[in-house]
Amino acid sequence: MKLDDLKEFDASKYLVDEESIAIYVNEMLESGDLKALPLALGTVSKARNMSELSRKTGISRKGLYQALSEDGNPSFDTVLKVMQALNLTFEIKQKQVI
């Protein structure tokens, strides 16, 4: 099998319920990569309904795709709007020191 024969993995196909979405977003957050959260939200948005998300956030579909892409740089306000529309929230905890 050649590398070109492999299909690109699409995580959005496996985010079928609220629990899997929460686990996915939390894992991406814990990676420490600043781009991880917007990318995770973009993946979750595809798993849900981008048009519905656009309606709920007041951000165009094109704007959402751009902001939540690998090259996107969404504002914190956009991230919060998307999270709220997806029924997600942040939880701030003190980091444990070992």
Q: Give the integer Cα–Cα distance in Å for 13 and 33.
A: 23
Which of 35, 46, 26 lies closest to 74 in space, CA to CA? 35
For the chain, the C-alpha Rg in angstroms (whole number) is 15
CA distance 56 to 90: 19
Which letter does DSSP use for residue 8 in this model? Answer: P
Q: For 29-76, how does the pLDDT look when each residue is reduced to its tens digit (9 = 90+)?
A: 888 888 999 999 999 999 998 999 999 999 999 999 999 999 999 999
End-to-end CA distance of the chain: 45
Q: Does residue 84 have a pLDDT over 80?
A: yes
Give pLDDT, residue 1: 63
What is the rounded CA–CA span in Å between residue 43 and residue 68?
8
Cα–Cα distance for residue pair 17/34, rounded to 1 Å: 25
What pLDDT does 97 receive?
A: 83
pLDDT confidence bin for 6, thresholds 50/70/90: low
* Structural tokens at position 85: 């529309």
Token pair for 66: 């751009």
